[in-house]
A and B are shown apart, each in its own frame.
Chain A
């Protein structure tokens, strides 16, 4: 089943074409890798799916509906949640507050109810608290709950950013180079985390430089080069695709 579909997506930056007529189908429950050399347009494409950029042309369907006109935050409400390559946490928030923040769109108490601390706010806040602690436990950060997020190790900050995204109950999780800056063992735990998320039925789009990681977890890979899609397929197909080898890797084969 198709969860998201990109049709003819193009993007210009002041006359310079960053993406040209990209078609891509994201299957429900899969892990979709997005790779390409620097400047290929993967981050641009990613930002168009998340709603940080507007596309210049084409259409973007999510669960069958066009969502191109929706803002970034509205897409979060539909279940499209992203992380950032350079980790964007809230400097003044505790670890627990970060996860609570993830529940923002799932809660419904309005301003009046919050200001007067009515019953539904009260109930909702304790529900958020409980669920957040539960989620922190699940990702193994419960011992840091009251700490400032900026005092966490780099690997744990990544983990927290993903936990915050998970708290928003995504249907489609967009991971922007989650392995960037992580050491070998941290990449291993990240890999496990991605598998766990996948096991819960959450669809993932993964932009990544770390080839091994992408090849290992993705069931579908799209390769971009100079703003165009040059190949698509399973890890094996991509690994043996002559165009990919020539365009993307220069010479030689992909090592795994």
Chain B
């Protein structure tokens, strides 16, 4: 009963947040909201891979880029309609994800991190150098505007509606996956591969599938991004972008799916809000990441629910998130 009420409350909050841009009805606000949506999909998919399955994938932006370039080329140069290109680019990215998974199976921990970073770097170098295909460092301009079943999407508001639907679908898909036996299997791989195998989990199969499905959604968001901005270049998908995504999931909480939505939202909106700081923005951004990891090891959602829990029970349970104070930083250092 209480759980149900909480759920309804959360839904009301979600609807309220989603409707904010409509109330403000400003192009710039819609733009930020659309960008947040794109990053929400990316960080949710990265979280399933890194947070839930424990695969140190440090090159997620490459999948984002593969989806973007695939979709741009399919529509621009082959003349496919948006919807087809959108789905095909997701599938193509999933296919590349599977190809990457096969060698990645052999690597663990930091070696997988290094390998996937190299993959990200290779993707960027190729997209810079294969000029005839990718337009080189200047990028690909004139990517057609999307049209969904005959309706041309041109207004920021329409993009916003579309991306919101996409975020909700992505959330539902990953949430269902995590709740199911397959989600338990993924988490068991993260916790202890040997024990997971000993209870019947086919690790190889699961790792390949998780690479495929997370790459699929990264590819979809890449496709959306390409058609939304109608221009892409290699710098959009650099290694630093992968690191940004990692910061988003750390802020929301590693292995916390709704957290990724919150984390992506915050880290897209905050730099916009602090635009007036100009050169200090990067400095603050970097320090924010440091402080998040030191102070909120469970992410912002874990911290808030820890606070709520403390209020309810008014007692400190073992394993609850650490207190938010200067002493904790000093202690942790």
- Of B18-26, B186-194, B269-277, the stretch lying at the interface with chain A is B186-194
- Of B144-152, B201-209, B323-331, the stretch lying at the interface with chain A is B201-209
- Give Cα A168–Cα B200 distance, bound, in whole angstroms: 8
B17 at the interface (CB under 8 A from A): no
Report yes or no: A114 in contact with B181, Cβ–Cβ below 8 A: yes
Report yes or no: B181 in contact with A88, Cβ–Cβ below 8 A: no
Chain B interface size range: 20 to 34
- Chain A positions within 8 Å of B, measured between CB atoms, are 50, 52, 71-74, 76-77, 81-82, 84, 88-93, 97, 100-105, 107, 109, 111, 114-117, 121, 124-125, 128, 148, 151, 164-165, 168
Report yes or no: A111 in contact with B195, Cβ–Cβ below 8 A: no
The answer, among B177, B198, B213, for a CB contact under 8 Å with A84, is B198
The answer, among A50, A82, A124, for a CB contact under 8 Å with B181, is A124
Give the A-B contact count at a CB cut-off of 8 A.
100
Report yes or no: A114 in contact with B180, Cβ–Cβ below 8 A: yes
Report yes or no: B176 in contact with A168, Cβ–Cβ below 8 A: no
Report yes or no: A72 in contact with B198, Cβ–Cβ below 8 A: yes
Report yes or no: B176 in contact with A90, Cβ–Cβ below 8 A: no
Report yes or no: B209 in contact with A111, Cβ–Cβ below 8 A: yes
Report yes or no: A128 in contact with B198, Cβ–Cβ below 8 A: no
Whole-angstrom distance between the Cβ of B233 and the nearest chain A Cβ: 33
Whole-angstrom distance between the Cβ of B234 and the nearest chain A Cβ: 32
- Give Cα A190–Cα B195 distance, bound, in whole angstroms: 21
Whole-angstrom distance between the Cβ of A83 and the nearest chain B Cβ: 8
- Give Cα A52–Cα B191 distance, bound, in whole angstroms: 18
B78 at the interface (CB under 8 A from A): no
The answer, among A104, A107, A148, A151, for a CB contact under 8 Å with B199, is A104
Q: Mostly helix, strand, loop or mixed at chain B's interface?
A: helix
- Chain B positions within 8 Å of A, measured between CB atoms, are 173, 176-177, 179-185, 187-188, 190-192, 194-203, 209, 213, 255, 318-319
A residues within 8 A CB of B199?
76, 81, 101-102, 104-105, 164-165, 168
The answer, among B202, B213, B255, for a CB contact under 8 Å with A73, is B202
Instruction: Assess A71 versus B202: contact at CB under 8 Å? Given A90-B187, A93-B187.
Output: yes
Whole-angstrom distance between the Cβ of A90 and the nearest chain B Cβ: 4
Specify the chain A residue showing the minimal Cβ separation from B190. Answer: A92
Report yes or no: B318 in contact with A114, Cβ–Cβ below 8 A: no
Report yes or no: B176 in contact with A115, Cβ–Cβ below 8 A: yes
The answer, among B176, B180, B184, B203, for a CB contact under 8 Å with A97, is B184
Instruction: Assess A72 versus B197: contact at CB under 8 Å? Given A111-B209, A114-B177, A125-B179.
Output: yes
Specify the chain B residue showing the minimal Cβ separation from A121. Answer: B180
- Give Cα A36–Cα B191 distance, bound, in whole angstroms: 32
Report yes or no: B200 in contact with A115, Cβ–Cβ below 8 A: no
B residues within 8 A CB of A116?
173, 176
The 3 closest A-B pairs by CB, nearest first: A76-B200, A114-B180, A88-B195
Report yes or no: B195 in contact with A115, Cβ–Cβ below 8 A: no
A residues within 8 A CB of B183?
114
A residues within 8 A CB of B182?
111, 114
A residues within 8 A CB of B179?
117, 125
- Give Cα A206–Cα B327 distance, bound, in whole angstroms: 51
The answer, among B181, B194, B203, B213, for a CB contact under 8 Å with A107, is B181
- Give Cα A124–Cα B188 distance, bound, in whole angstroms: 19
